[in-house]
Structure 1
Amino acid sequence: MTTEPQLPAEHAPPSHGQGAGDSHAHGGFAKLVVGAIGIVFGDIGTSPLYAFRETFAGHHRLMPDPLHILGVLSLIFWSMMLVVTIKYVMIIMRADNKGEGGSLALLALINRKSEGKRWTKGIVLLGVFATALFYGDSMITPAISVLSAVEGLTTVNSGFTPFVLPIAIGILIGLFVIQSRGTAKVGLLFGPIMLVYFTVLAVLGIIHILGNPAVLVALNPWYAIQFFISDGYLAFLAMGSVVLAVTGAEALYADMGHFGRKPIGMSWLVFVLPALMLNYLGQGAMILSQDINTALQTIHNPFFLLAPEYLRLPLVILATMATVIASQAVISGAFSVTQQAIQLGFMPRLRITHTSAGAIGQIYIPVMNWGLMVMVILLVLSFKSSSNLAAAYGIAVTGAMAIDTCLLAVVLVHLWGWNKWLAAPLIAVFALVDLAYFGANLTKVPDGGWFPLLIGFIAFTLLTTWARGRQLMIARMREVAMPVKVFVQSAVNTATRVPGTAVFMTSSPEGVPHALLHNLKHNKVLHERVILLTVKIADVPYLTSGNRMDFKDLGHGFHRVVVNYGFMEDPDVPAVLASTKSCGPEFRMMDTSFFLARQTLLPSSRPGMALWREKLFAWMLRNAESAMEFFKLPTNRVVELGSQVEI
C-alpha cells in the first residue's frame, strides 16, 4: 500500500523574482543586518544561558577541571564552525528556493527539479519529518529559554526560588496573548535589544578572559580530541549537551527569505559568533580561576555569575527580554512553516490572519498559537526546571539537522551537479557530526527526550495522512467526473440561463465540478457566465503578476480559469478576478455567486489508506477552515453544496 505524500504535481509558470539569497524584505544592508541579529539569532543567542552549564551539571555530569572545560569549549567552538558557519552559512543557505529557505522550501525546490526520480518520495518523507520535528522544537524553545532566564533570579536572591515558575508562566502567557496584535511594532525593538544583549555577552566574557587568557587555547581542536581520548564515552554523552550551543542554526536558513543570505552571514561572522564564543570562553575562564569546590557551586549557573552581584538583576532582565525575543521568533517560525505546509498540501486549511499591511511574513494562526501555549505551559509545569527541559531539548534539532544533510546531498549532486567524489567527503563529515549529536541525544530519551519525538511522530502522521487522503479524494472525484465538452453541449440545450456570473471552485482543472452538477440537478438553471476556477500552489514562494492566471474559453459562456500562487502567498480570489479582463465583462461582486462543494467522506475498505487514517483524514477535513474564508470570498455571495466521497 502506498502512503507516501507528494508535493502538488501542478507547476505554475516559473517566477522571475529575486535571485538566490535575495531578500523579500526592503531596506538598507545595515538595517537588514540589525534585523537579522534581532530575529534570526534569538534562539542560538540564548544558548549560553544553559548550554555550558548543562554539559557539566546536567544528567551526565562532568568534573569542572581543565581537561573537561577546555575539551567542552573546543567542542562548542568547532561545532559552531562546522555546523553553523560551514554547513549552514556557507553551503545550505546557497540552496534557496527563489530566495526562501527552510526544509519545506528546499523540499519544494528538490521536488521541482527531480520530478519522476525513484528516490523523490523518500526525500519528501524526510523533508516532512524534519517539519514535524520542528513543532516539537517550537514547544521546547520558549519553555527552556524563558525558564532559564527567570532562574537567574535565584543568583540575585535565593528567596526568589518559589516565584520562578509563576513568573515564567506569566511571561509565556503574555507572549502568546499578544501574538494576535502582530509583531511589527515590537519587532522594531528586537534588533537594538539583541545588539545590547550580544554586546553584554561579549563584554562579560572578555572581562574573565583577561583574568585567565590561557582559556583561549581551547580554540585548538586538539583539546576536543584529547577529551575523547581521555573519556571516550563521557565525551560522547557530553555532545548531547554541547549541541545546545548550536540550537537555532536551522533558523538561519528558515529566515533567509526575510533578510537575505548576505546580511545573515555577515551578522553571524562579524558579530554573533564572536560574542557567543567570547561568552563561552569567559564562562570557562571563570571556572578555571576557581578552586574545585567553588567551581562545583558556580557551574550550576555560570552565565549569571559572570556579572558582579550588583549587575545580576539587570542581567536577568536583559536575558529575559532576549529569551522572549527568541521565543517570539520560534512562534513566528511555527506560523510561517504552518502556512507553507497548508499551501503545499500537507495540512488542512486553517484561519490565517495578517497582522501587518506591509510585511508579507507577519501572520497569526489562532489554532497554532493557543495549541503551542497550552503545550509550552504543560512543559514548564511538568519539567519544572530548565535543566530538566534540557534533557528533552536537542533530539528534534539534531534530527532536523541530520535530515538537512540528506537534502543537501541531493542538492549538491543532482541540483548543482557536483562531482560525487568531491561531494561525498563533505557530506560524510556533516553526516558524522550530525549522527554523533543525534546519537548522544538519544540517550536522553528516558529523561524527557521522548517528548519531541512523540510530538514529531504525531505531527508526521497528521501531515502524511492529510497529503495522502487529499490525493485519494481528488482521485476518487476524478473517476466520476464528466468531461466538460459533453456537459456543456448537454447543459446549454436543456438548462435555463439566468443573468449574472457563477464561479465554481474546484480542486481539479479537469472535468465538471461536483458543485456545478448538483446546482444544475437541483436548481435546473445556469448563469450567463460560468467560471470553473482552480487555485494552484506552485513550488516556488512567489509568482509575478504576469504568471498569475491561465484562461480557456470553453464556449457558450463557460470559462476555465486557473489562478497560480506561490507557497508563501495568500490567495485572494475576488481580488484576482477583479483584475482580469479575459473572461468577458468586468467582474462585479454583487452579480457574482461562488459555489463550493463540501465533501462528506465515507471511509471504506478500498485500497489507499488504513481505515483509522481514513477516519483521521475525515476528522481533519471536517475541522478545516472553510474555503470561503481561506480564499477571501464574500460571505453573502457563497453557496455551499454537499456531496459524499468514498475513499
Structure 2
Amino acid sequence: MSVTATGGAEAAPQDHSHGHAHGQGSMAKLAVGAIGIVFGDIGTSPIYAFRETFAGHHTLHVDQMHINGVLSLIFWSMMIIVTLKYVTIIMRADNKGEGGSLALLALINRQLGGKKRWTAGIVLLGVFATALFYGDSMITPAISVLSAVEGLTTVNAGLQPFVIPIAVGILIGLFAIQSHGTARVGALFGPVMLFYFTVIAVLGVMHIVDRPQVILATVNPVHVFTFFFDEPLRAFIALGSVVLAVTGAEALYADMGHFGRKPIRVSWIYFVMPALLLNYMGQGAMLMNMGAAQAMETVKNPFFYLAPDMLRLPLVLLATMATIIASQAVISGAFSVTQQAIQLGFVPRLRIAHTSESAAGQIYIPVVNWALMTMVILLVIMFGSSSNLAAAYGIAVTGAMLIDAVLISVVLLQLWNWNRYLAIGLLALFFTVDGLYLGANLLKIPAGGWFPLLIGAIAFTLLTTWAKGRQLLLARMDEASLPMEIFIKSAATSATRVPGTAVFMTSSASGVPHALLHNLKHNKVLHERVILLTVKIQDVPYVSEEKRAETQDYSAGFYRVIIHYGFMEEVNIPAELSKLEGCGPACKMMDTSFFLARQTLIASSRPGMAIWREKLFSWMLRNAESAMEFFKLPTNRVVELGSQVEI
C-alpha cells in the first residue's frame, strides 16, 4: 500500500528503499542508550505491578502459595511474551530496520499487496493497534509518575495530600519542555536508568539472600498450575494485574529503529530482565519473611519498603526520575507514531517541528503534545491514585499484543513460510497467553478499563475516516481528470507562455491537475516550464537518493516529477527540486511559483461514507496543516486555487 502525501492509496512501485544506518556507535554505547529509552516503561513496572496483584481492586492473601504463583506468572510472562514473542521473533520482522505496528503493517501490505482479501483486514487491525497506542500513551505517564510520587507516603504518611499536586507539577514540566527538544537531557537517560536497574537489582538481592529458595520457586511453572488449580477464578483475575509487569514489551519492537535489534536484545537478556526478576523476587522474599499482619501492610507499597528507612527517600527520587524518563519515551513514541501515520495517509497533515539538527527522529508535534498533557493531567485528577489507574491500564496493551500476534502469524505463515507445525505451535502459545491476559483485563472495564477503549475507538474513527475520505476525494477528482497529452495538444499550445517555472502539486501521478486547469482558465497564461509534482510516501522507512525522483518529459516544457519518501523521512520539496535532473535547468526558487489546490468539501448523499463521517472528514481537512508548511514551500512563492468537491 503505497500512499501519496495527501493520503490516497496507489499501486506500490518497485522497492524504492535501502537499509538505513540507525545505530551508529559501539555495541556497549547502543546498549546503554537502549536501556535509557526503550526499557523505561517495563522498567518502572516493579513500582506497582506486584502491589496491584495483591492489594489492588481484587486482593490476594499474602501467603507462600500466592506469592510463588504470582512470581512464577511474572517470570513465565516475561519469558513467553517479552523474550520469545517480541525479542526473539517479532523483532526479526523489521521494515528496513524500523519496527512498530505501522511499520509491520506497511511491511505486510507491501509484500501481500496483491491479496486484497488479506490486506483489508490487516490494515484495520494495524490501524486499531495504533489507535490503542494513544490510549496507552495517556495512561503510562499518569500511572508511572503518580506511583513513584506516592512513594513519599512510605517516608512520611503526612505527605499524602501533596502527592497529586507534585505529580501534576512534574507532568506539566515534562510536557512544557518538549518543544525545546530532549537532546541534552536525553544524554542522561542511559546512565540514570543504568543506575536505576542496578539499584533495584541490589535491593532485590538484599532480601533474596534471606530466602534463596524463592529463586527456584519463581522459575518453577508448577506454581502457576497450583495457583490456577486451587483458585482458578482468583488466578484468572490476578492476570489482569500480573500483565502490568510486561507493559512496555511492545516498545522494544517500536523503538528498534533507534538502536537496532542486537543492542536491545543484549540489554534485555543480560541486564534488564535479570534486574527486574531480582527485584520481583526480592519483593516476594521480603513479604514471605514477614508475619501475616505486617505483610498485608507492606504489600501496599512493597517496592519502596525494599529499601532501608534511611535510603527510602533517595529511592523515591530515583524512581521518580525513572518514571519521568519512561514518560518521555512514551511521549516521543506518540510523536513518532503520529508522523508515521501522517506519512502513510491515516492522519491529516500536522505541524511537525524538528528539535535537533543532527537527530532526524527528534520531533515535536504541538497538537499531540498538548492533547496528551491535558488527558494525562485529567487522568491523574480523575482517578486520584496509581491503584485506580491500574484498573484502566492493561486493556490497551493486551489488545495491541493480541493484534501483534495476528500480524506476526501472517508474517510466519505467508512471508517467511516457516514450518507449519512449528509456527502453529508457537502461535497457539501466543494466542492463548495474550487471550487470557486480554480476557482478564476486560473485567477491568467498569473500574476504568473503559477509558483506553474509548480513546482507542475515537482514534480509530479519526484514522479510518481520514484514510477513507482522502480515498473518496481523490476518486472524485480523478473522475474529471483530463489526459495530459490531450491538454498539451489543445489549450497548452495556444496559451501565452511567460518566463519562469510553475510547479503544480498534485496527489495523482496521471492527468492534468485541477490547479493547472483553474490557473489557465482564470489567468490565461502558462509558464515556460511546467512541473507536475507528486509526492509519494512508500511503505519503507527510508528511500535512497538515487531512487528519490522519477521524471517524465511531455515536451513543450511540460514535465511530470514523482518524488519518493520513506514514512520516517522529512519532506522538503525545495531541497529536492534544487538537485532535480532531467527537467531542464536547475530550479531557482526566485523564478519558481508553486500552485496548490485547496478543496472545500460539500457533504452529499453519494455512496461512500455516512454524512456524519463526511462532515468529520471536512472538519479534519479544514484544520490540517497547510500543504505549504508541510512541504516546506517558500511562503512568498505559493498560489492557492480553491475548488468545491462532493464526496
Q: Normalising by structure 1, what TM-score?
A: 0.98
Residue 310 of structure 1 aligns with which residue? Answer: 310
Aligned residue in 1 for 2:522: 522
Work out the CA distance in 2 between the residues paired with 1:467 and 1:503. Answer: 26
- Structure 1 residues 87 and 7, CA, compared in 2 at 3 Å: closer, same or farther? farther
User: Shift of residue 15 of structure 1?
Assistant: 4.4
Task: Give the aligned partner of residue 30 of structure 1.
Answer: 28
Give the C-alpha shift of residue 6 in structure 1: 9.6
> How far off its partner does 1:8 sit?
3.2
Superposed displacement of residue 16, structure 1: 5.1
What are the superposed Cα offsets for residues 44-71 of structure 1, whole Å, 9 maximum, x if unpaired?
0000000000000011110010010000
SS in 1 for 2:209: helix
Residues in 1 aligned to 2:13 and 2:643: alpha-carbon distance in whole angstroms: 29
- How far apart are residue 7 of structure 1 and its match? 8.1
Alignment pair present for 1:300 and 2:328: no
Aligned equivalents of 1:488 and 1:296: distance in 2?
A: 83
The aligned residue for residue 252 of structure 1 is 252
- Aligned counterparts, 1:304-343, within 5 A: 304-343=304-343
Tell me by how many angstroms 1:421 deviates.
2.5
Is 1:70–1:215's contact at 8 Å kept on the other side of the alignment? yes
- Structure 1 pair 458/616, CA: closer, same or farther in 2 (3 Å)? same
Give ranges in structure 1 of 5+ residues lacking alignment: none
In the other structure, the counterpart of 1:41 is: 39
Aligned twin of 1:87: 85
Task: For residues 254-313 of structure 1, give each alpha carbon's deviation from its aligned partner in whole angstroms, at most 9, with x where no partner exists.
Answer: 000000000000000000000000000000000000000000000000000000011011
Q: Secondary structure at the match of 1:119?
A: helix
Q: 2:107 pairs with 105, 109, 125, which one?
A: 109
Structure 2: which 5+ residue stretches go unaligned? 1-5
* Cα distance in 1, alignment partners of residues 64 and 485 from structure 2: 81
Structure 2 CA distance, aligned partners of 1:436 and 1:316?
33
After TM superposition, the structure 1 = structure 2 runs for residues 366-385 of structure 1, keeping only pairs within 5 Å, are 366-385=366-385
Rounded Cα–Cα distance in structure 2 between residues aligned with 1:586 and 1:6: 29
1:202-601 matched pairs, under 5 angstroms: 202-216=201-215, 217-601=217-601
Partner of 2:18: 17
Give the C-alpha shift of residue 183 in structure 1: 1.2
- How many angstroms apart in 2 are the aligned matches of 1:54 and 1:406? 29
What is the SS of the residue equivalent to 1:176? helix
Assess if the C-alpha contact under 8 Å between 1:7 and 1:108 holds in 2.
Answer: no
- Say if 1:502 and 1:595, in contact at 8 Å, map to a contact too: yes
Cα RMSD for the two superposed structures: 1.1
- Distance, in Å, in 1 between the alignment partners of 2:236 and 2:611 is 43
- Asked whether the equivalents of residues 8 and 538 of structure 1 are also in contact (C-alpha less than 8 Å), the reply is no
The yes-or-no answer on 1:196 pairing with 2:195 is yes
Q: Deviations over 1:352-378 (max 9, x none)?
A: 011111112110000000000000000
Cross-structure match for 1:142: 141
Instruction: Read off the aligned partner of 2:437 and give its amino acid letter.
Output: Y
Contact 1:6 1:121 (C-alpha < 8 Å) held by counterparts: no
**Distance (Å, rounded) in 2 between the aligned partners of 1:251 and 1:89:** 11
Give the Å deviation of 1:542: 0.2
Say whether the 8 Å CA contact 1:565–1:571 is kept in structure 2: yes
Is the CA contact (8 Å cut-off) linking 1:6 and 1:124 kept in structure 2? no
Distance in structure 2 (CA, Å) of the matches to 1:595 and 1:347: 23
Moved more, 431-440 or 490-499: 490-499
Partner of 2:75: 77
C-alpha displacement at 1:592, in angstroms?
A: 0.2
Distance 1:23 1:69, change over 3 A: farther
Letter in 2 for 1:69: I
For residue 211 of structure 1, give the secondary structure of its aligned residue in structure 2: coil
Aligned residues: 640
Against the structure 1 CA distance between its residues 620 and 16, is the aligned structure 2 distance closer, same or farther, given a 3 Å change threshold?
closer
Q: Which residue of 2 aligns with 1:176?
A: 175
Q: Tell me how far apart the structure 2 counterparts of residues 13 and 314 of structure 1 sit (CA, whole Å).
A: 56
The whole-number CA distance in structure 1 between the counterparts of 2:591 and 2:260 is: 44
Cα deviation digits, residues 90-144 of structure 1 (max 9, x gap): 0000000000000000000000000121121001100000000000000000000
Report the CA distance between 1:494 and its aligned residue. Answer: 2.3
CA offset at residue 17 of structure 1? 2.5
Question: Following TM superposition, by how much is the alpha carbon of 1:25 offset from its aligned partner in structure 2, in angstroms?
Answer: 2.9
One-letter code aligned to 1:74 = S
Percent of counterpart pairs with the same letter? 72
Post-superposition shift, 1:244? 0.1
Output the amino acid matched with 1:25: G
> Judging changes above 3 Å, is the alpha-carbon distance between structure 1 residues 7 and 41 closer, same or farther for their aligned structure 2 residues?
farther
2-structure distance, mates of 1:538, 1:622: 25
Give the secondary structure class of the aligned counterpart of 1:454: helix
Amino acid at match of 2:386: S
Alpha-carbon distance between aligned partners in 2 of 1:63 and 1:423, rounded to the nearest angstrom: 39
Partners of 1:402 and 1:434 within 8 A in 2:
yes
Q: CA deviation at 1:10?
A: 3.5
* Counterpart residue number, 2:53: 55
Report the Cα offset of residue 34 of structure 1. 0.3
Q: Is the 8 A contact 2:503 2:533 kept in 1?
A: yes
SS at match of 2:645: strand
1:491 CA displacement = 2.1
Residues 304-333 of structure 1 show CA distances to partners (whole Å, capped at 9, x for unaligned) of: 000001101100000000000000000000
Could you say what secondary structure the match of 1:326 adopts? helix
Letter of the structure 2 residue corresponding to residue 40 of structure 1: V
C-alpha spacing 1:645/1:437, structure 2 compared with 1 (3 Å):
same
Aligned residue type for 1:9: E
> Contact 2:16/2:538 (CA < 8 Å) preserved in 1?
no
CA distance, structure 1, for counterparts of residue 264 and residue 437 of structure 2: 25
Whichever residue aligns with residue 37 of structure 1, its letter is I
1:13 and 1:547 in contact (8 A); partners too: no
- Report what 2:3 is aligned to: none
Aligned residue for 1:155? Answer: 154
Q: Which moved more, 1:23-32 or 1:374-383?
A: 23-32
Distance in 2 (alpha carbons) for counterparts of 1:120 and 1:281: 44
Shift in alpha-carbon separation, 1:73–1:23, aligned structure 2, 3 A: farther
- Secondary structure of 2:123's match? helix
Deviation, 1:23, is: 5.1
Q: Provide the C-alpha distance between the structure 2 equivalents of 1:644 and 1:615, rounded to a whole number of angstroms.
A: 14
Say which SS state the counterpart of residue 539 (structure 1) adopts.
coil
Amino acid at match of 1:8: A
Aligned partners of 2:9 and 2:471 also within 8 Å: no
Taking the aligned partners of 1:7 and 1:92, their CA distance within structure 2 comes to 29
Question: Which letter does structure 2 place at the counterpart of 1:494?
Answer: S
Q: Return the letter of the residue paired with 2:274.
A: P
Runs of 4+ with >3 A deviation:
5-8
Q: Which amino acid aligns with 1:532?
A: L
